[in-house]
């Protein structure tokens, strides 16, 4: 888009070698929504911005809460909302909308929501926590099965055996213990003690 990538809180033409932005997003609030629709929109049009979007994430000032304009022959024309009340950015190849909880940005071609790095990290952490919890449940189920098999075979199960089985977290070891529980002649054989 003519400028090196990077984060900018605001665009300063004098820091960007006089090159204006191609797309502008304004997040409106009580104190800014009138300015966003007036002077800022007019300024962006004069600077040759290709697309200009105004978003009211609180749904308090704008109806609809996501609005946009595209430059056509140097003049801003409104961008039509799609069936999901989102707006297409032809420049970025995305659709911009508003869910109940956040601004959504979806790939125009696939419809996939683009994920911010912090969202991705949270999703990975959540998936890891779910996998860990599932492993714990599986291990607990295996431990319960071992003790149930021993008791069903009429063996008295000592506290030492119960504690050992409860501490075991390796699935392969738990499978071996379950096989031993099904075939041993005494509960003490479970731990390799005769």
Residue-wise pLDDT for 40-64, tens only, equals 899 999 989 999 999 998 888 888 9
Given this model, what pLDDT does residue 2 score?
A: 67
The whole-angstrom separation of Cα 115 and Cα 117 is: 6
The segments of the chain whose pLDDT lies below 70 read 1-2, 116-117, 120, 193-194
SS3 content of the chain, % helix, strand, coil (to 5): 40, 20, 40
Given this model, what pLDDT does residue 194 score?
A: 40
Given this model, what pLDDT does residue 117 score?
A: 60
DSSP H helix total and E strand total for the chain: 5, 7
């063996």: which residue's tokens?
155
Measured at the CA of 129, the angle between CA 125 and CA 132, to 5 degrees, comes to: 135
Given this model, what pLDDT does residue 89 score?
A: 95
Given this model, what pLDDT does residue 90 score?
A: 95
The whole-angstrom separation of Cα 51 and Cα 88 is: 10
The whole-angstrom separation of Cα 190 and Cα 50 is: 74
């379950």: which residue's tokens?
178
Given this model, what pLDDT does residue 141 score?
A: 87
Given this model, what pLDDT does residue 21 score?
A: 87
């Amino acid at each position: 888009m003519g400028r090196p990538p990077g984060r900018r809180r605001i665009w300063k033409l004098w820091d960007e070698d006089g090159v204006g932005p191609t797309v502008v997003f304004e997040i409106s609030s009580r104190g800014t929504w009138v300015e966003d629709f007036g002077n800022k929109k007019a300024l962006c049009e004069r600077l040759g911005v290709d697309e200009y979007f105004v978003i009211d994430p609180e749904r308090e000032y704008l109806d609809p809460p996501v609005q946009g304009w595209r430059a056509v022959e140097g003049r801003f024309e409104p961008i039509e909302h799609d069936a999901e009340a989102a707006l297409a950015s032809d420049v970025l190849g995305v659709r911009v909308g508003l869910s109940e909880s956040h601004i959504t940005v979806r790939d125009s071609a696939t419809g996939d929501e683009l994920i911010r790095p912090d969202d991705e990290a949270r999703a990975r952490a959540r998936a890891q926590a779910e996998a860990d919890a599932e492993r714990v449940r599986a291990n607990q189920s295996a431990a319960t099965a071992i003790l149930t098999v021993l008791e069903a075979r009429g063996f008295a199960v000592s506290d030492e055996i119960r504690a050992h089985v409860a501490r075991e977290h390796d699935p392969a070891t738990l499978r071996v213990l379950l096989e031993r529980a099904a075939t041993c002649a005494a509960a003490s054989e479970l731990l390799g003690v005769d």
